A and B are shown apart, each in its own frame.
Chain A
């Protein structure tokens, strides 16, 4: 482009842009995408209903979070993004942010301060793993076991998963390298702090696969969060990993003889992103919604319905009792100090780099 024309165009565009923003008002309808099931229900009760009541906004629920990344990319390429706010896990948020599909958020100005006066970035702290991602809950992937099938000494360590002698039987693990590789190294004597450094090397990867090899024949690999609870309930496996909320439901709501293993559970985050390419009205509405939905009280409210920990530090003291069971929810939160004695921190940045490579290796290893 010739410079003069560029400059002339610039003035026009700046003008047009300003006027568009000056007229901005917020859309009266929005589509919020989430995971469905009990999780969506908890969001509806804690966020959607109060928000639409207060603002007269119609909220349409879409249960497409599992395919959110691909769908958002397709929508963006087609130039027609129909979603306003999307609930995704942190790893997907990083990917969407990298792809330029998620809006970057200025946390301190665009989100509410904590009830305790802290700024949003102080309140969320380390959980702000991406510029586009507003954390909502902390969940953990952890192990559960059948209390009646593991003998007299129930497991206390994640390494029971690799101990076929003490705990013979089938176990279920997620069909992906993430978490499994870390656990394998941890149980093969690698110090927690060194896990990712070791895993970065060919030798470290081989070591992890070798450890997984020892139990390979005894593993049922799951791909849906509901699998392990079902396998445990039917006695197909004696222990298995899944999300702590699923185990909570299995133990407390369905009263199955299952115990929860709070050891080396891997923290992960789930939260909101706002897609790029929305009209100013819709973007303003979406930002307004997430500001409301991620304030201290709202995040604490969600824990009444599902056993996932609020992502704000300031919400923790406000967590109350389960809406129907009436039990104290604080002790069931993965963030509860009693449960979080030995946790494992998931390295998002590292996995963003190694995911493609290790996934290929993991799939090749599985099919051997």
Chain B
């Protein structure tokens, strides 16, 4: 009996397994705990996780090309860039149909901006072409209408396109007409039954009728069959030539290659850009040297942030120690001084740094007056990396001092006394006994300062000159100025990954449980 009861699960008084009973008893408690944290959880999800997720998604998202140019990108799949020739007229016809819709929806310039990040000149290429695209295919319209004025009748068109066999007999025409109809409804709020179709519809009709001159159009009005009979003899329009007339770039392989390369809905192009590489027909390759900047900036950001963190430790440690050991009244005064940078506006701080650090500034005046440096050889303390380090150390010092202080406050003075009573000198007592116990504070402060400093961009922009700017300055530029959010997101994602990597390394080396913000 005892044996079996020992080997089986322990049962509660009612005969259920004890574990299940316990779980049931705890469920209510867990539910209540869940409810208590729910507001914060939802808040964090909405304000933090979702936006970051969206931003990360942008770094690979590239739907705009295939959304705006659905027909063109499909046609381009078969085009071979290595042939050295621009695509033929069928691709240009598809481009015309796509552009016609895009212009109405004002999407072509957006697409131009997007592709201009990859190839210079595409922005104006699309803008210019957008203005002229509604003339493309006019020749076909004229020829159909000349053949039979009924082709200019919107109602005839609407009825034709509603015929059941239209989609089978005239697939491209139906497609082009649907694009026309839905676009003018949604963009212009016009009635397709009152508007003559775009030239692209006639262009498509010509394509349909000439693609298979023997196609069965019996289910359609007689005008179609009549047109079918003569369409082969229509003067065809050289769309490619018309486009190249608008901008010679349409005739270059490079332009089309860019569209082809960026056709997929997702791209690693932004990430390649973010590490100074680019997509090419042969896969990824390094950018030309005169455009490489991001790796340099990543490395510089890391090195300078570490320098800032170390200077914060060196300057903050004694101050935190004083704070933790001075009598309350003096400690409070010192604490106010420590927090002063928080309460000063950026403008005041910036002016102060300039007054202090510039070549004709206070510090230089003093060292020149003291004869430490020559008047014509003043120190460059601002508008370079030194300026950034000085200013950032100043701003971030409280983030080092506060965790250090709160950790030091919990180290009883008895430890130092004990060490001294055991025969340790002041230095040994500090280094062997006090310092190891303050390491969690250094860890917390360093993580705070480091992570904050890699994200700072306003201060480096102001005092960093050219050699003191961070990767975050470029991120800010791409967010607010160039609007290249995909690249900004890729840079941000890499930065996030680097931080996580460093965090992981820190955990492995120091141990993350060895980080304390206080008590």
A and B in contact, CB less than 8 Å: yes
Q: Which residues of A contact B (CB under 8 A)?
A: 1, 3-4, 6-7, 9-11, 13-14, 17, 66-67, 69-70, 73, 95, 97-100, 170, 175, 209, 220-221, 223-224, 230-231, 234-236, 349-350, 352-357, 359-361, 363-367
Distance in Å from the Cβ of B192 to the closest Cβ of chain A?
A: 6
Residues of A within 8 A of B124 (CB): 349-350, 352-353
A360 contacts B293, CB within 8 Å? yes
Residues of B within 8 A of A365 (CB): 290
A6 contacts B466, CB within 8 Å? no
A100 contacts B162, CB within 8 Å? no
A3 contacts B383, CB within 8 Å? no
Contact of A99 among B110, B360, B477 (CB under 8 A): B110
Q: A1-B178, A6-B181, A353-B124 are in contact. Are A100 and B107 (CB under 8 A)?
A: yes
Bound form: Cα–Cα A11–B189 in Å: 8
Interface residues of B in 271-297 (CB under 8 A from A): 290-293, 296-297
Q: Which residues of B contact A (CB under 8 A)?
A: 105-107, 109-110, 112-113, 116-117, 120-124, 127, 158, 161-162, 177-178, 181-182, 185-186, 189-193, 290-293, 296-297, 300, 354, 358-361, 383, 461-462, 465-467, 469, 474, 477, 479-485
Contact of A367 among B110, B185, B293 (CB under 8 A): B293
B291 contacts A364, CB within 8 Å? yes
Residues of B within 8 A of A364 (CB): 290-293
Distance in Å from the Cβ of B4 to the closest Cβ of chain A?
A: 65
B296 contacts A352, CB within 8 Å? no
Bound form: Cα–Cα A73–B479 in Å: 10
13 contacts between A and B (CB under 8 A): A1-B178, A4-B162, A13-B186, A14-B189, A97-B109, A99-B109, A209-B290, A354-B120, A356-B116, A360-B293, A364-B290, A364-B291, A367-B469
A230 contacts B354, CB within 8 Å? yes
Residues of B within 8 A of A98 (CB): 109-110, 112-113, 123, 127
Q: A10-B191, A99-B483, A221-B465 are in contact. Are A236 and B116 (CB under 8 A)?
A: no
B120 contacts A7, CB within 8 Å? no
Residues of B within 8 A of A7 (CB): 158, 181, 191-193
Contact of A11 among B191, B465, B466, B483 (CB under 8 A): B191
For B300, the closest partner residue in chain A by CB is: A367
B482 contacts A236, CB within 8 Å? no
For B484, the closest partner residue in chain A by CB is: A356
Distance in Å from the Cβ of B213 to the closest Cβ of chain A?
A: 26
For A69, the closest partner residue in chain B by CB is: B483
Bound form: Cα–Cα A363–B476 in Å: 14
For A205, the closest partner residue in chain B by CB is: B290
A73 contacts B483, CB within 8 Å? yes
B189 contacts A13, CB within 8 Å? yes
B293 contacts A175, CB within 8 Å? no
A3 contacts B162, CB within 8 Å? yes
A1 contacts B293, CB within 8 Å? no
Residues of B within 8 A of A366 (CB): 466
Residues of A within 8 A of B177 (CB): 3
Q: A356-B482, A360-B291, A367-B467 are in contact. Are A236 and B189 (CB under 8 A)?
A: no
For B465, the closest partner residue in chain A by CB is: A221
Residues of A within 8 A of B189 (CB): 10, 13-14, 17
Bound form: Cα–Cα A235–B354 in Å: 12
Residues of A within 8 A of B297 (CB): 367
Bound form: Cα–Cα A347–B161 in Å: 46
By Cβ-Cβ distance, the 9 closest A-B pairs, closest first, are: A98-B109, A10-B185, A70-B480, A100-B106, A366-B466, A357-B120, A364-B293, A17-B189, A353-B124
Q: Per DSSP, are chain A's interface residues mostly helix, strand or loop, or mixed?
A: helix
Bound form: Cα–Cα A360–B290 in Å: 9
A224 contacts B193, CB within 8 Å? no
> Beyond A352-B124, A353-B116, A354-B120: 10 further Cβ-contacts under 8 Å?
A3-B181, A6-B182, A6-B185, A9-B185, A67-B480, A99-B483, A355-B482, A367-B296, A367-B297, A367-B469
A224 contacts B113, CB within 8 Å? no
Q: A3-B161, A6-B178, A220-B383 are in contact. Are A363 and B293 (CB under 8 A)?
A: yes
Distance in Å from the Cβ of A294 to the closest Cβ of chain B?
A: 23
Residues of A within 8 A of B127 (CB): 98, 349, 352
Residues of A within 8 A of B192 (CB): 6-7, 10
For A357, the closest partner residue in chain B by CB is: B120
Bound form: Cα–Cα A224–B480 in Å: 15
B466 contacts A367, CB within 8 Å? yes
Bound form: Cα–Cα A220–B354 in Å: 13
Bound form: Cα–Cα A14–B105 in Å: 17
Distance in Å from the Cβ of B505 to the closest Cβ of chain A?
A: 27
Residues of B within 8 A of A175 (CB): 466
B109 contacts A100, CB within 8 Å? yes
Bound form: Cα–Cα A348–B373 in Å: 47
For B469, the closest partner residue in chain A by CB is: A367
A7, A17, A97: residue with the most chain B Cβ atoms closer than 10 Å: A7
Bound form: Cα–Cα A223–B468 in Å: 14
Residues of B within 8 A of A221 (CB): 383, 465-466
Residues of A within 8 A of B120 (CB): 353-354, 356-357
B123 contacts A1, CB within 8 Å? no
Residues of B within 8 A of A67 (CB): 480
For B474, the closest partner residue in chain A by CB is: A363
Bound form: Cα–Cα A364–B296 in Å: 9
Distance in Å from the Cβ of B287 to the closest Cβ of chain A?
A: 8
Residues of A within 8 A of B480 (CB): 66-67, 69-70
Residues of A within 8 A of B291 (CB): 357, 360-361, 364
Bound form: Cα–Cα A168–B317 in Å: 44
Bound form: Cα–Cα A317–B159 in Å: 61
Residues of A within 8 A of B122 (CB): 353
Residues of A within 8 A of B296 (CB): 367
Residues of B within 8 A of A17 (CB): 189
Q: A230-B354, A360-B293 are in contact. Are A70 and B479 (CB under 8 A)?
A: yes
Residues of B within 8 A of A69 (CB): 480-481, 483
Distance in Å from the Cβ of B126 to the closest Cβ of chain A?
A: 9
Residues of B within 8 A of A170 (CB): 359
Bound form: Cα–Cα A221–B460 in Å: 12
Distance in Å from the Cβ of B99 to the closest Cβ of chain A?
A: 15
Bound form: Cα–Cα A367–B485 in Å: 22
Bound form: Cα–Cα A9–B181 in Å: 11
Bound form: Cα–Cα A365–B482 in Å: 18
Distance in Å from the Cβ of B83 to the closest Cβ of chain A?
A: 25
Residues of B within 8 A of A95 (CB): 113, 483
B121 contacts A220, CB within 8 Å? no
B358 contacts A236, CB within 8 Å? yes
Bound form: Cα–Cα A69–B477 in Å: 11
Distance in Å from the Cβ of B346 to the closest Cβ of chain A?
A: 11
Residues of B within 8 A of A359 (CB): 477, 482
Residues of A within 8 A of B193 (CB): 7
Distance in Å from the Cβ of A20 to the closest Cβ of chain B?
A: 10
